[in-house]
Amino acid sequence: MRGLVSSKPSRREHSVQSVRNNDGIDLAYDYLPGAHPVVVFCPGFASDMGGTKAVMLRDDCAARGQAMLRLDYAGHGASGGAFEDGTIGGWVRDAVTIIRHAVNDADVILVGSSMGGWIALLIALQWGTRVVGLIGIAAAPDFTEDLIRPVLTPAQRQDIALHGL
């Protein structure tokens, strides 16, 4: 399926940049300039922008001249913060902070892997028509349903439903 996946990851260096979130944590990202819309990769739980899927997608975008943004949520990869302090809502805010900083108001195609599919879906619900495409790779929207929901209070369930927290 050439065009979707490159045969081997690039050995090119990438330039990691950062932006600070509202909690004072530096969030890492890698932006590849090119044609719009911008492909944005949202990694999964405990994964990061250096993962195989993210790098292969970046290489494919580079070969096509397509703009691409890879990112690390707080507590992941090259970003600051502690992983155990993270929440879905916090990681959504991190992704939004990075996307707004890196690509301003450009239209985006969100690609989410596993938990990143949930994060991409929550962003798409907020942004509407600015999101011109949404791709889930083994997407795991709301994996808390079976694991965590039974022990949550009604107020916590409402927070998750409204804010992804």
75-127, pLDDT tens digit by residue?
898 888 888 888 888 889 999 999 999 998 899 999 999 889 999 999 999 99
Supply the CATH number for residue 129's domain: 3.40.50.1820
Domain span at residue 29 reads 17-163
pLDDT at 88: 86
pLDDT in tens, 35-75: 999 999 999 888 889 889 999 999 999 999 999 999 999 98
**Measured distance CA(92)–CA(46) in Å, rounded:** 14
Q: Quickly count: other Cβ atoms within 10 Å of residue 53's Cβ.
A: 20
Q: Is the full-model pTM beyond 0.95?
A: no
Name the token pair of 26. 């530096």
Q: Residue 1 falls within a domain, yes or no? A: no
Establish if 9 belongs to a structural domain: no
The burial class, CB within 10 Å (0-12 / 13-18 / 19+), for 117 is buried
Task: Give a yes or no: residue 51 inside a domain.
Answer: yes
Residue 101, in any domain of the structure? yes
Work out how many domains the chain is built from and give that number.
1
Does residue 3 fall inside a structural domain?
A: no
